[in-house]
Amino acid sequence: MQSLISALEVRDQIAAGTITATAATTATLDRIKRLDKTLHAYNSTFEESALQQAAAIDQARSAGQPLGPLAGVPFALKDNLCTTFGTTTCSSKMLQNFRSPYNATVVNKLQAAGAVIVGKTNLDEFAMGSSTENSAFGVTRNPWNTQCVPGGSSGGSAAATAAGLCYASVGSDTGGSIRQPASLCGIVGLKPTYGLVSRYGLVAFASSLDQIGPMTRTVADAALVLNVIAGHDALDSTSWPDPVPDYLHDLDVPLREVRIGLPAEFETEGTSPQVAQAVKAAVDFYKSQGARIVPVELPHMRYGIAAYYVIAPAEASSNLARYDGVHYGHRTAAPQDLYDLYAASRAEGFGPEVQRRIMLGTYALSSGYYDAYYVRAQQVRQLIKQDFDAAFKKCDFILGPTSPTAAFEIGSKSGDPLQMYLCDVFTVTCNIAGIPGMSIPCGFSTDGLPIGLQILGPTFSEARMLRLARQYESHHDWHKRQPPIQ
């Protein structure tokens, strides 16, 4: 079985000359060819350009030129990030042939850091889903059990990272779309504070909730990638202007006298006993390391799913109105009139889940219902934010499950939207409040499926959050286990 090493390790080996960037990229592309027929983690791969990028890294190293922090690391992008190379499809027929005239800021930063972009990964269409079953281009499978989903919407990035089809990747998180698939695939997923990472060039789902973040095999790799992609961007009006710290600095220094909050609201009926047991064991570990366990309350968390599924569809309804069959995107072949052009283009281009959310959002924003739904949801949003503010006066971080269950079988929830939406019960409030959250591996079910521990912190606490996560990771080997697909 091929051993999977971290992005930091392959970066350092390339810098030391132990291996070449070309060799690392070739091996990754070969692995994609061999395994992605089963997983379908990628929508597109860029063999020629990736090898050219790798060769340029090797030439720069041979010439003694300084190398970037990700020099030679084979990297994957979620296919809702605009790139001038390849297509940007959002896994939708609507954008099946769309070629962006510009790169997302995150893509430019990764390329400047020397990352070798090997491909773009599958997702739930327009990032709307929790299982990567809603893609117009087919289902992505979980490398731990190919009969199960990898989570969503960043399921392609999670599966690719877990299976060694890249060394690291980025996803986007609107209501848990980095953390939930990270949990189900046994990797590290970090959703940064809203505004820490530029959203410029991310195809919008819900603009007040979306964030881009790293998906990696180790906590150190997440810190490495966050170092590259975080920071102010004048092209994003919501970008935080202050300088960002070095997230790798002091990463291995444990936090002392940390206060860990445990909300009673995380103890829900739908949580698997095995998930609850794994999370309890993680909390007990921190307690053994000197952490103080503090009960906290998040009384409005019970309204999180309801508020999210008003706010997010409302913003999606507005953002996706641009796909009208006129400017770009899918256009119906023979419209009868202007109305038919709009209606047929959207009916043919959007899948059922996207149509469902557009209709929900349009209804919530319509005359006579705006105050009853959208305004009320925004009021609940403020209450949820206040709950977290109050909780973080009592504790430094909040711990709990990332997902109520381990990965479920493909098709088992696709016929019941409400059950699918409840997969995000522990993750949506993080986006609603704009705080950072991450998922790290903390165990396995009796079926051999990964379980994730979620860490939530106050705004811009990523540096300390990563240290807390690394403290757990350094005493456990969950992140070193490899999925059986080989």
Residues forming the active site:
78, 153, 177
Which two tokens mark 133?
Answer: 């079953």
Helix axes of 21-39 and 7-16: crossing angle, nearest 10 degrees:
150
Residue 184 tokens read as: 């189900």
SS3 call for 285? helix
* Range 330-354 burial, b when 16+ CB lie within 10 A, else e: bbbeeeeeeeebbbbbbeebbbebb
Dig out the tokens for 304 from the structure. Answer: 């999180």
SS3 293: strand
Spatial distance between the Cα atoms of 65 and 449, rounded to a whole number of angstroms: 44
What one-character-per-residue DSSP string does 398-417 give? Answer: EEEESSSSS--BTTSSTT-H
Those residues whose C-beta lies under 8 Å from the C-beta of residue 102, and which sit 6 or more positions away, are 82, 84, 201
Q: Are 159 and 415 in contact (CB under 8 A)?
A: no
Q: How far apart are CA 453 and CA 381, in angstroms?
A: 24
The Cα 457–Cα 385 span in angstroms is 12
Tell me the two tokens of residue 351: 């899948």
Rounded alpha-carbon distances, angstroms, from residue 255 to 245, 288, 465, 466 = 17, 13, 9, 10
Q: Which residue has the tokens 């105050």?
A: 371
β-partners of residue 441 are: 452
Which two structure tokens, joined as six digits, stand for 252?
């291995």
SS3 letters across 250-279: CCCCCCCCCEEEEEHHHCCCCCCHHHHHHH
- State whether residue 460 is helix, strand or coil: coil
**Burial (CB count within 10 angstroms: exposed 0-12, middle 13-18, buried 19+), residue 171:** buried
DSSP 336: S
